Structure 1
Amino acid sequence: MANLDPQLNSAPSKINHIHIMGICGTGMAALAGMLQSSGFTITGSDQNVYPPMSDFLADLGITVKSGYSKNNLEPRPDLVIVGNVITRKNEEAIHLAELAIPYLSFPQALSRFFINSRKSLVITGTHGKTTTCSILASALYHAELDPTFMIGGIVPEFGGNFRIGDGEYFVAEGDEYDTAFFDKKSKFLHYQPHIAVITSLEFDHADIFEDLQSIKRAFRKFVRLIPEDGLLIANFDDENVRDVISEARCNVQSYGLNSAYDWSLADVRRGESNLTSFTALQGGNHYSDIAIQLPGQHNCLNSLAVTAILHHIGVPSEKISSGLKAFSGVRRRQEIRGIEKGITVIDDFAHHPTAVRETLSALRMAYPDNRLVIVFEPRTNTSRRAIFQKDYVTAFDCSDVLCIREPVPLTNVAEDNQFSSAQLARDINETRERKAMAFNDTDAILSYLSTHLESGDIVAILSNGGFDNIHNRLIEILRNR
């Protein structure tokens, strides 16, 4: 077992070589790139070294060792950054403790090297963090404020998920998940928030949180971190969000659908050239007419939260509108992967029932006259539990056809507490005239789609993982059909 010395949980004054354990995670690879760009020599290790992250790191010239071993700490680094995929039983972590090398967690490193010297803008919430962060980073860039950011998704506009700028702002995606095996606090408690957004608050991450109340406690701690001269922008449509802001020391601005809020939406509509248009109201009065390239009311709300931040820091409304309109999206968020034989294949990250519902509603708005075929893979620790078994029944209401993959069972969860795709399909088919089907594997789904898809169909594939490369395989099948 790795018993790391708490006294060594800090960065030494002189650092040249930094080793990163768990380097192939999306955030860790981005951190590696940022640190290398800052002049440090970076090495790393991971159990799963494969594309696209292996190619990304290779292009940066970063040496990555496959598998964890005490030999990976030779030559001895000046600092080790430990990812939260690392456990106390990890051989490399045990040797790290034996060598008494200084160490940091991922969020500690992000804070130490990049947030300390900047003003932190933190986007938190159960849903919409990645998209809202990306919109904010893009809008700051277009407002010529030269932001630094790290985001949980690839932003095509920047060709990656991180950027180091010379401006005063750091845009951080505030994740409530735990930090590391030696620090069970939520990651966002390390991010020194000056301005923050809470987009939503629901139960999630069942592998680390017991219930909704334990998640609320983490958010209350986060809210208390915002200084008196800071700002919290809170989605007042969500009663759980309203519940956790009571101890805020800073100014709180509300946003949502109610015109009584500080910021609200009006007249959300599908505009020309697939733009979504809405009117932003401040205090119930007209502030600006805004058009975005993203479908759905939820993306209008994400853009409204960004509008509130930009207005607060002094960006003129015209620049806000033009910056929001310029943003073209995030990979794996309603991303069109290809169109073959008139069939559009879309990739999306949604897995929580609320995120699924909002994503499908947005797709229905964007494609009102098309058949919507949804392919869903329950893959997260939470979605593979029976916690949301009933909630998913109505989450897919906007679909015309639903294909659900049976999840890989969780080894540490009793059978009656596991999610069942077959049960979900039965429940959906009993409640409405929709075709819902469960499949044992990805090959069976592809076999069905290959013979049942028609020109004009919109196929949206929902998963937080690679889903056995189903997107490219389906496009290839359609191309050769």
Structure 2
Amino acid sequence: MHLTEQSKIYFIGIGGIAMSATAGIAKQMGFEVSGSDSKELYYPAKGVLTDEHIPYHIGYDANHVKNFSNTIFVASAGEDERNPEIAELRKNNVHIYSLSEMLRELFSDKLRIVVTGTHGKSTTTAMLGKALSEIDNSSFMTGAVLTDLNKNFHVGDGHYAVFEGDEYKALYDDPTPKFIQYEPDILLLTNLEFDHPDMFESLEDIKNELALLIHRMPDDGVIVYNSDNAELVKLVHESNLGSISFALDTDSDFTATEIQTTNDYTKFLVKRRGDFPSEEYKITAFGRINVYNALGPIALLRTLGFSIEQVQSGLDNYEGIKRRFEYIGQHSSGAKVFDDYAHHPTAVKETLATARLRFPDSKIWAIFEPHTFSRTEAVINEISESFIDANEVLISEIYPARERKTETSITGETVVKHISKHTPNVKLIQNKEEALQILNAELSKNDVVIIMAVGDFNTLAQKLTNTYAA
């Protein structure tokens, strides 16, 4: 069944951040939307579904998907035929849409822009999406909640639709990465390093998927890419599509120079290739990593013909996203506490470099929860060098996520041993309570705490500033 104005849309696994956002987008576009999930929902999904008045079932049941007329079904990639709703639809040969297919259908009449890469996707997508929503009232969806919107999407009537391109599989029985199914007209590539060893055996495997994505783009498609990344340079040069490069360290179509940081913003110049005057931009974000995150959108927006003033106005519209060097508050000692999603070694290193840039004279505490055994083992040498800007480092045991620990699995103790070669003040902790005990006892007024976690330590920043900051 194809999407029509009369279609109803039912989301299986509606509680995910991307699924709930897609449901919210569909509802705002006028569709009748409902769904289901296995358990009670929490922020941000619950807020989106409540605000948009979208009904949903708690618990899966085959009866939920029976006798639906004119209904399109969308499923989370995490749901398979053990889910009775999926099993019922498969039994009756009903097509199940992936999230990326659904978004492509919803925005089939727009120029679709996909942002992908190893890291920086959410921030870059949010910066570009917010800028285009300000300039053109375009739509966007990213993988993190924007602090001013308190959600991760916007629906407008502009010419563009911007999506964060996830490299994970589209459905349980379709290994195609989601970013391919968006079928973008414009592709923005932030960087390329090895990650997700649970899905890809090598960097070459990731490059092959990106090459397939590029191959499927239209002949007039455009690639905007970070030319400081050698792997992206090789990938783009193998394509016949038009391309626009941006960089900080190498000559490119758009090169950022003279980066200056204050307590309130980062300012830099952008030199365009050719006989153009330098352009000055300002962002309320910090560190080289955020100059990269802004430079890709700047390069694209200027190439699309928007003025310097329009681009700066669009960047001014970006106020940050949750869990990306997000200031949570003060500990009772006066120490500043930040929360971050960083789990790839490069992201960890850049996050701590940003902290050191902003707080050059402070003692910086890094609390890091390694994510999955496979990733940690694959990048252990890179992780060991990621904490050089921290004074004190607390490492938890590895968060397994979807993996199972075995006798040969890498341990937190091994991570600590590797980090100690480069950063001496590193300690293994067993749980949040031990981290709280250490921090409550040792934090001082001018200290800065950066918590980087995607699992059990997610709430540590809030506990430090609220529950445990007596």
2:103 matches 1:110: yes
2:336 matches 1:319: no
Q: 2:32 aligns with which of 26, 37, 41?
A: 41
Within a 5 Å distance, the mapping from 1:313-352 to structure 2 comes to: 313-341=304-332, 342-352=334-344
Match of 1:4 in 2: none
2:388 matches 1:397: yes
CA distance in 2 between counterparts of 1:75 and 1:444 reads 53
2:248 matches 1:257: yes
Match of 2:260 in 1: 269
CA RMSD of aligned residues (A): 2.0
Please say which of residues 344-353 and 248-257 is displaced more in the overlay: 248-257
CA distance in 1 between counterparts of 2:134 and 2:280 reads 18
2:283 matches 1:292: yes
Q: TM-score, normalised by structure 1?
A: 0.91
Match of 2:437 in 1: 447
Deviation at 1:19, TM superposition (A): 1.4
Q: 2:272 aligns with which of 268, 279, 282?
A: 282
Deviation at 1:104, TM superposition (A): 0.8
CA distance in 2 between counterparts of 1:430 and 1:466 reads 26
- Give, as a single letter, the amino acid of the residue that structure 2 aligns with 1:49: E
3-state SS in 2 of match to 1:479: coil
CA distance in 1 between counterparts of 2:10 and 2:250 reads 51
CA distance in 2 between counterparts of 1:99 and 1:259 reads 56
Q: 2:428 aligns with which of 414, 438, 450?
A: 438
Q: 1:354 aligns with which of 341, 346, 350?
A: 346
Please say which of residues 229-238 and 317-326 is displaced more in the overlay: 317-326
CA distance in 2 between counterparts of 1:83 and 1:175 reads 13
CA distance in 2 between counterparts of 1:353 and 1:257 reads 20
CA distance in 1 between counterparts of 2:261 and 2:218 reads 39
CA distance in 1 between counterparts of 2:159 and 2:89 reads 35
2:69 matches 1:80: no
3-state SS in 2 of match to 1:337: strand
Q: Quick one: structure 1 residues 408 and 323, their matched pair in 2 at CA, closer, same or farther if it must change by over 3 Å?
A: closer
Please say which of residues 356-365 and 252-261 is displaced more in the overlay: 252-261
CA distance in 1 between counterparts of 2:220 and 2:90 reads 40
CA distance in 2 between counterparts of 1:133 and 1:291 reads 18
Q: Quick one: structure 1 residues 277 and 437, their matched pair in 2 at CA, closer, same or farther if it must change by over 3 Å?
A: same
CA distance in 2 between counterparts of 1:299 and 1:371 reads 23
3-state SS in 2 of match to 1:170: strand
Any gaps of 5 or more consecutive residues in structure 1? 1-9
Deviation at 1:282, TM superposition (A): 0.8
Match of 1:406 in 2: 397
3-state SS in 1 of match to 2:355: helix
CA distance in 2 between counterparts of 1:71 and 1:449 reads 51
CA distance in 2 between counterparts of 1:27 and 1:466 reads 21
Match of 2:18 in 1: 27
Match of 1:93 in 2: 86
CA distance in 2 between counterparts of 1:331 and 1:426 reads 31
Match of 1:371 in 2: 363
CA distance in 1 between counterparts of 2:5 and 2:87 reads 24
Conserved 8 A contact 1:274-1:366 = no
Q: 1:60 aligns with which of 47, 52, 62?
A: 52
Deviation at 1:74, TM superposition (A): 4.5
Paired residues in the alignment total: 465
3-state SS in 1 of match to 2:196: coil
Q: TM-score, normalised by structure 2?
A: 0.93
CA distance in 2 between counterparts of 1:62 and 1:108 reads 21
Match of 2:211 in 1: 220
Match of 1:469 in 2: 459
CA distance in 2 between counterparts of 1:20 and 1:152 reads 18
Match of 1:70 in 2: 62
Q: Quick one: structure 1 residues 15 and 191, their matched pair in 2 at CA, closer, same or farther if it must change by over 3 Å?
A: same
Conserved 8 A contact 2:116-2:165 = yes
- Give, as a single letter, the amino acid of the residue that structure 1 aligns with 2:348: V
CA distance in 1 between counterparts of 2:111 and 2:204 reads 30
3-state SS in 2 of match to 1:274: coil
Q: Quick one: structure 1 residues 13 and 319, their matched pair in 2 at CA, closer, same or farther if it must change by over 3 Å?
A: closer
CA distance in 1 between counterparts of 2:191 and 2:422 reads 28
